[in-house]
A and B are shown apart, each in its own frame.
Chain A
Amino acid sequence: MSDSIRNIRTIAKREFGGYFASPVAFVFIVIFLLLAAFFTFMIAGFFERGEANLQTFFTWHPWLYLFLVPAVGMRLWSDERRLGTIELLLTMPVTAWQAIVGKFLAAWAVLALALALTFPVVITVNYLGHPDNGVILGGYIGSLLMAGAYLSISSMTSALTRNQVVSFILAVVLALFLILAGYPPVTGLLVQWASPWFVDGVAAVSMMTHFESIQKGVLDSRDVLYFLSIIVFSLFTTGVIVRAHRAG
């Protein structure tokens, strides 16, 4: 077990360093912060609302992540395959799942760092009013979990192809499906011709549904479980794909 943890840490450390050796991480963080600020303050009118919470801030995260997270995750495995380094990595005394988890955690840490750098908005809202900081913490946890879910999907699609662009597009499409399934305009449309239980079923697999309740401050174990199961499932599938490719 300690071997596993050491291998995962070694791989994660390298991957994390890789993000900062290229401009990927910096560009991601800067764009994430700019867009988050833009949506929160310009589009949603954070100040005009005069509410002491971060609803307007978190509401946009599913959409921000839609494009930004696949941009971070697309290189995870496609690059290893394109450069042939996957052959080095998987002939080391490490298991495929250690490599998959290690690389995933590194990319997730980049996303977590970007999210953490939005702390000024927490300070601002605390300065202006008296928000429920428990709700805000819940929102952050939910947002991080959702980012992880998007990322695990990107990991899966990047294992499918050595082409980063293809991997990016596939991840966006899959993530978009998971958003739209519970997006009110879409569910509204569905209700008109599908039975309610079907609509509820579709909405239940949506990120939106689960993220919404989390950002309202209800950290329900079912929502947490939802995101974790997406992560576990996608990483497991990543493993299956990596294995299948090696089998030729």
Chain B
Amino acid sequence: MIKVRNLKKNFGPKVAVNGVSFTVAKGEVLGFLGPNGAGKSTTMRMITGFIPPTDGEISVGGFDMLNDPIPAKRLIGYLPENAPSYGDMTVQGFLSFAAELRGLAGDARRQAVERAIEMCFLEAVRHQSIETLSKGFRHRTCFAQSIIHDPEVLILDEPTDGLDPNQKHEVRTLIRRMGEKKAIIFSTHILEEVEAVCSRAIIIDRGAIVANGTPAELKARSENAGAVVLRLASGAAAGVKSKIDGISAVERSVVVSESPLVVRAFPRKSGRGPEFARAVGEVALRERWAVEELHTEEGRLDEVFRDITLPDTGATKEEAQ
């Protein structure tokens, strides 16, 4: 549904987006991750046709956003960063306006407004003017606007920003549910959100894509991914460590803490997978250790994220060195 090729955007001398390419198919929820200033919003603004790219191609549902913007825009629902809306309108009036601009009229429009109000839990405030609403409601009102025409493509810029934990959960559930039938891109800097919602994630840093994969694939890039953690009720650290190091599949091991005794064993490149945990387990059994816990680490997104981006400067690690 969404195809982006070699997208670039310069603001004067500043390069905000530098050669971004990806595609999103129907039924996919693509998470856009990256430190502040990475170029997430700028990329989304180009995809939605708000700002023209300096270079590159954007196609939405087969329509070229640059040469044929109106049919492309028809397919898109967009929640801009900070969820802007017309404060002087009521929630219902605003949604009705959005529906009208989307070409809905009469009963179809009324039904669309009702549906959006229901999906975004806005019933209680529908007649209230938007400027009198709390931030969470304002945010959901703008969200409701983005789904008013049941679009095939949804672009959501930090859809859970400023919401309380319950509201965050509701919005995530909503995105995941809608993601079954739509092509969705959403940006966030909350990593657990990516795992909870996305079918695929892109990490973007300093305007360029630095990682692209399913959350599981990205996590597997983490240093600790595939390592086995063993926790024992008692035991001598040195002895346990040497026994573990003796296992042929183990590359090295680290004593994480002495009491309780926690040891992390890293596999050799070839030895990743469930057999590795079994090998460690067999040794533990043989040595009659008081095992309290034994598990394989999946890796953690925040580690991967920290590893490939440098949030403070926005520079990639390689460039900073």
Please give the residue numbers on chain A whose beta carbons come within 8 Å of chain B beta carbons, in ascending order: 3, 6-7, 10-11, 14, 17-18, 21-22, 83-85, 87-88, 90-95, 246-248
Task: Take A10-B100, A10-B101, A17-B89 as given contacts and tell me if A90 and B50 are in contact as well, using a CB distance cutoff of 8 Å.
Answer: yes
Is B27 an interface residue when CB atoms closer than 8 A count as contact?
Answer: no
Per a CB cutoff under 8 Å, which of B51, B73, B87, B89 touches A93?
A: B73
Contact present for B51 and A246 (CB under 8 Å): yes
Contact present for A85 and B84 (CB under 8 Å): yes
List of B residues within 8 angstroms of A84 by Cβ = 80-82, 84
Interchain CA distance A17-B12 in the complex, whole Å: 38
Q: For window 142-185 of chain B, which residues contact chain A by CB distance below 8 Å?
A: 142, 145
Report A172 CB to chain B, min CB distance, Å: 25
Contact present for A21 and B101 (CB under 8 Å): no
In the complex, residue of chain B having the shortest beta-carbon distance to the beta carbon of A94: B101
Is B21 an interface residue when CB atoms closer than 8 A count as contact?
Answer: no
What are 18 A-B interface contacts by the 8 Å CB criterion?
Answer: A3-B103, A14-B97, A17-B88, A18-B86, A18-B88, A22-B88, A85-B84, A85-B86, A87-B80, A88-B142, A91-B48, A92-B73, A92-B98, A92-B102, A93-B74, A95-B70, A248-B9, A248-B12
Is B45 an interface residue when CB atoms closer than 8 A count as contact?
Answer: yes
Interchain CA distance A10-B96 in the complex, whole Å: 10
Task: Take A14-B86, A14-B97, A88-B85 as given contacts and tell me if A93 and B102 are in contact as well, using a CB distance cutoff of 8 Å.
Answer: yes
Task: Take A7-B101, A18-B88, A93-B102 as given contacts and tell me if A88 and B78 are in contact as well, using a CB distance cutoff of 8 Å.
Answer: yes
Contact present for B52 and A247 (CB under 8 Å): yes
List of B residues within 8 angstroms of A94 by Cβ = 70, 101
List of A residues within 8 angstroms of B76 by Cβ = 91
In the complex, residue of chain A having the shortest beta-carbon distance to the beta carbon of B93: A17
Per a CB cutoff under 8 Å, which of B10, B89, B98 touches A21?
A: B89
In the complex, residue of chain A having the shortest beta-carbon distance to the beta carbon of B42: A248
Interchain CA distance A7-B98 in the complex, whole Å: 11
List of B residues within 8 angstroms of A91 by Cβ = 48-50, 73, 76, 78, 80
Is B129 an interface residue when CB atoms closer than 8 A count as contact?
Answer: yes
Interchain CA distance A91-B45 in the complex, whole Å: 9
In the complex, residue of chain B having the shortest beta-carbon distance to the beta carbon of A92: B101
Contact present for A83 and B87 (CB under 8 Å): yes
List of B residues within 8 angstroms of A10 by Cβ = 97, 100-101
Interchain CA distance A18-B129 in the complex, whole Å: 12
List of A residues within 8 angstroms of B52 by Cβ = 246-247
Interchain CA distance A93-B89 in the complex, whole Å: 21
Report A124 CB to chain B, min CB distance, Å: 36
List of B residues within 8 angstroms of A3 by Cβ = 103
19 additional A-B pairs beyond A10-B100, A93-B70, A93-B71, beta carbons within 8 Å, are A6-B100, A7-B101, A14-B86, A14-B97, A18-B88, A21-B89, A21-B129, A83-B86, A84-B80, A84-B81, A88-B80, A88-B85, A88-B98, A91-B78, A93-B103, A246-B51, A247-B51, A248-B9, A248-B10
In the complex, residue of chain B having the shortest beta-carbon distance to the beta carbon of A79: B86
Contact present for A21 and B88 (CB under 8 Å): yes
In the complex, residue of chain B having the shortest beta-carbon distance to the beta carbon of A19: B88
Interchain CA distance A6-B106 in the complex, whole Å: 14
Interchain CA distance A10-B88 in the complex, whole Å: 16
Interchain CA distance A84-B101 in the complex, whole Å: 18
Q: For window 24-77 of chain B, which residues contact chain A by CB distance below 8 Å?
A: 45, 48-52, 70-71, 73-74, 76
Report A158 CB to chain B, min CB distance, Å: 16
Contact present for A88 and B88 (CB under 8 Å): no
Per a CB cutoff under 8 Å, which of B84, B89, B97 touches A87?
A: B84
In the complex, residue of chain A having the shortest beta-carbon distance to the beta carbon of B75: A93
In the complex, residue of chain B having the shortest beta-carbon distance to the beta carbon of A83: B84
Contact present for A88 and B70 (CB under 8 Å): no
Report A11 CB to chain B, min CB distance, Å: 8
In the complex, residue of chain A having the shortest beta-carbon distance to the beta carbon of B94: A14
List of B residues within 8 angstroms of A14 by Cβ = 86, 89, 97
The listed residue with most A CB atoms (<10 A of its CB), out of B82, B85, B97, is: B97
Interchain CA distance A200-B103 in the complex, whole Å: 50
Task: Take A14-B86, A88-B145 as given contacts and tell me if A248 and B80 are in contact as well, using a CB distance cutoff of 8 Å.
Answer: no
Report A233 CB to chain B, min CB distance, Å: 24
List of A residues within 8 angstroms of B85 by Cβ = 85, 88
List of A residues within 8 angstroms of B50 by Cβ = 87, 90-91, 246
List of B residues within 8 angstroms of A95 by Cβ = 70
List of B residues within 8 angstroms of A88 by Cβ = 78, 80, 84-85, 98, 142, 145
Interchain CA distance A6-B88 in the complex, whole Å: 22
Report A185 CB to chain B, min CB distance, Å: 42
List of A residues within 8 angstroms of B70 by Cβ = 93-95
Interchain CA distance A95-B68 in the complex, whole Å: 11
In the complex, residue of chain B having the shortest beta-carbon distance to the beta carbon of A3: B103
Interchain CA distance A202-B85 in the complex, whole Å: 44
